[in-house]
Structure 1
C-alpha cells in the first residue's frame, strides 16, 4: 500500500511541481523555496533520522484531499494531527507534526542561529572531544576535519530520556510533567526512530532534579539502563568474545549511546576502571554536574552486571566533589567504598573480571554487529554540523532543491562562509546534492515500482536521459542494472 502511495504521490507531485516551476524563472525557484524552508527549519530544526522519499512542500500538501486548505502548518491539517486519510501518506513520507514552541525549541532556535553557525557554544568543546575522536577514527578523518554535533542536533536514540521519564513515572510523576519543555510527546518517546538532542537530555535531567525528592535518583535512573536498551551498540557489548575488547568497543563507539560526557577506560597491574568527564562543568551547574556523574556510575555498574554477571561489584567509586546534602551515591547502593573530593570521577574494579570468558560471546555475531555499528557511526556523522543542516534542507524538496544562496540565507550566513564550513567537513554543496539524489534514487529503485521517468522528475531532472547519466556516474551502473529483478 505504501509503495502504491509513493508511486501515485510522486507522479502527482512531480507534475504539480513541474507545472509550477515552468512559470518561474530559474533564479526565483530557490528563493521561493528558501522562504518556506526558513520558516519550517527555524520552527522545527531537527535533522531527519534517515533518507526517505522526498518531502511534500506546503503547497503540495494542500493538494491532498485530507488537508485543510486554511491550515497555517506546512505539513499538517489545521488540527495539528494527521487525519485518518493522511496517516498512510505521512508514514510513507516519514513526517510528523510540528512540535509546540517549548523552551527546548526556543533554545534550539537560538543555538542554530548563533552557536552552530559560529562554532562557539558552552558545550561545543566537550562535544568535539567526545564525538570527534570516535567518529573521526572510524571514518579515517582527523579531528580538525570533523565538525562536532551541535547541542541541539537531534542525533540520538531516546534511551536515556525514556529511562528518566519511566523512573519518574514509577515515583508517581505524570509523563506530561516529566516531559514538560522537552519537546517530545509520550507517544513519540517510545516510538522507533525518535531522536533527541543533548539539549533535550540536559533539560530532562534538570526537570528530574526539580520534580523528584529521591536522594539516589540519578543512580537509580542509570541502574535502569541495560545493554538491551542500546540497540546494536548494546548487542555488540553483549556478544563480544573478550571483555577487554568489550571495554575498548564501549569507549570507542560511545557516540552511539547519547553521550553526556567523555568515558575513558584504563587498566593497571592490579585493577581496571572507568573515568567520566561530564559535558557540563561543575562551576556552571554543580547539581546537574553531579547528576550526570552519578547517572553514568549507575550505567557503568548496570552494564557490567549485564555482561559479567549479577555478582559484579566495583572495588571503589571516586567522585570529584565533596559529599553533598541533597542527593548522592552511598556505599549501600553500590556495595563498595565511595570516595568524595578526588581528582576525577570514576569507578574501579578488580582486573581479574576481565579475564573471565563472556557468557554470550560469539565471534561471528560480534563481527557482524560491529560492522552495523560502523554504519551507524557513518550515518551519525552525516547528520552533524552544517552539512547535516544542508542535507535536511535539501530533503525538504529534493525535486526542486533550494540553491546554495537560499540555504545560506535560511541558515543566517553568507554563501562564502557556508562553502568554507562545508569544506571543513570535506564536502561541498554539489556533493551533498548528488549524495541526496543518489540515495533517494537507490531507495526508489530498490523499494518501489516507480518508472525511471517518474524517479527522474521526482529528483528534479529535466529528462530521464540526464537521470540515467547521473545515476551511472554515481554508482557505475544504469538504473535498470541496479533495480532488483522482479519475481516471476
Structure 2
C-alpha cells in the first residue's frame, strides 16, 4: 500500500488522529529523515532514493530549520524498504535516535526528576516528536508497560508497518538507556506481528525474550524503574522546559490542517514573517493553492499572520521585561507605535493593561 501524494508533491491530506498532527502538517525538524539517510547509506541506498516523492532535497534535510511532516517520514521509510532495507536497519535507526535529537522534548525527558515523570511526560508531549505510533504506558503487577498503538497503519504496507514497529521498540529502548542508564533493560517484548526469521535479532537488539502474534506491541520493564532518579534529573529545569513544551503543544493545537502548518512556519521567525509567496514555497505549494486551501478552512494568510503577532506580543508583554520597542521588533512591527495600535485593536486596552494583568 503506497502513501498517497497530493498535487504539490507531498503526502495527500489525511485526517489527524485525535491529539496528533495530520500527515501533511509540517511541524517537525528533519532529524528523523536525516538519520534514515545516514543509517542506510552503508547499504548503498542513496539520499535521492530516500527522499523520492517527499518533496524534500538533501540540503533541506540537513537544514535544522526545515519543517517536515509525519507523512514525509513515512514516505522515506516506504522508499528504503522498497530499496532493500532490512529490519536490522530499523534497529540501527532506532539506536541512533537519541533523546538529544528531539530538541526541548528530549531535553525535558532527560531532566525528569523520576522515571515515572519520564513515562508521563513522554506520553503527554509525544506529538512534538514526529510520532508514527501513539505511546501509552501503565503499571501492571511487577512491570511498567509501554504500549505502541499503531495509528497510521491504514496508509502503510505490511513491510513498512513491521519496520516501524521494530524501529519504535528500539527507540524506546534507547531513550530509557539514555535517561536511566545502560543497566535498565526490558524483561520482555510483545509484538502484534507474526514470528518471522528476524525473531532472533529482535531478542538480541532488545536484550529480552520476545513474544509474537500478541494483541498489542508492548515493551515491559521492571516496575522498580519508575522510582529511579535519572542521572541528569533536575526538577527546576524540567519545570521550565515543560512550560516551553506546553506552549508548543498549545500552538500546534490552535489550528489544524494547512492553517496549522502555516501557523508553525510563522512561529519559527516571527520577527521576519515571510510573504505569502515565500511561505507557499516553503510549504511546497503554489501561492494560489495556498490561498485556495486556506479559504477552504475559512481563513487567510493575513489573518494567521495577525493571530501569530497577537499571541506572541501578549506573551512577551506578560512574561518578559523586554522593552516595548523590542517586543515590537520581535513580532514584526516597524516601531512601537504600530504595536500599540495593534494592541488596542486586539484587546481594546493598552500595553500597560496587559503588563499589569
Fold equivalence (TM over 0.5): yes
3-state SS of 2:131 partner: coil
Establish whether residue 411 from structure 1 lines up as the match of residue 300 from structure 2: no
Establish whether residue 338 from structure 1 lines up as the match of residue 210 from structure 2: yes
The aligned length equals 325
Structure 1: distance between partners of 2:256 and 2:110: 28
**Greater relative contact order: 1 or 2 (C-alpha under 8 angstroms, separation 6 or more)?**
1
Structure 2: distance between partners of 1:316 and 1:249: 23
1:379: how far off? 2.8
1:238: how far off? 0.5
**CA distance 1:435–1:328, shift in 2 (3 Å):** farther
Structure 2: distance between partners of 1:328 and 1:473: 65
Establish whether residue 477 from structure 1 lines up as the match of residue 350 from structure 2: yes
Two-structure CA RMSD over aligned residues (Å): 3.8
Match of 1:446 in 2: 326
Contact kept in structure 2, 1:329 and 1:338, CA below 8 Å: no
3-state SS of 2:147 partner: strand
1:360-384 CA-partner distances (Å, limit 9, x unpaired): 1111111111111112212323453
Match of 2:240 in 1: 368
Alignment of 1:255-266 (within 5 A): 255-266=127-138
**CA distance 1:355–1:203, shift in 2 (3 Å):** same
1:440: how far off? 8.4
1:455: how far off? 5.4
**CA distance 1:191–1:274, shift in 2 (3 Å):** same
Establish whether residue 254 from structure 1 lines up as the match of residue 126 from structure 2: yes
Structure 1: distance between partners of 2:197 and 2:335: 63
Alignment of 1:119-158 (within 5 A): 121=14, 124=15, 127-131=16-20, 149-158=21-30
1:369-424 CA-partner distances (Å, limit 9, x unpaired): 111111221232345325336757996359xxxxxxx99993359x7x644xx7xx
Structure 1: distance between partners of 2:200 and 2:57: 30
Match of 1:322 in 2: 194
Match of 1:396 in 2: 275
User: Structure 2 residue aligned with 1:302, among 169, 174, 179?
Assistant: 174
Contact kept in structure 2, 1:265 and 1:275, CA below 8 Å: yes
3-state SS of 1:196 partner: coil
Alignment of 1:272-283 (within 5 A): 272-281=144-153
Contact kept in structure 2, 1:408 and 1:418, CA below 8 Å: no
1:328: how far off? 8.1
Alignment of 1:18-417 (within 5 A): 106=7, 111=12, 115=13, 121=14, 124=15, 127-131=16-20, 149-281=21-153, 285-325=157-197, 329-382=201-254, 384-385=256-257, 387-388=259-260, 396-397=275-276, 410-411=291-292
1:320: how far off? 0.6
Structure 1: distance between partners of 2:125 and 2:237: 17
Structure 2: distance between partners of 1:228 and 1:433: 32
Contact kept in structure 1, 2:17 and 2:151, CA below 8 Å: no
**CA distance 1:447–1:270, shift in 2 (3 Å):** same
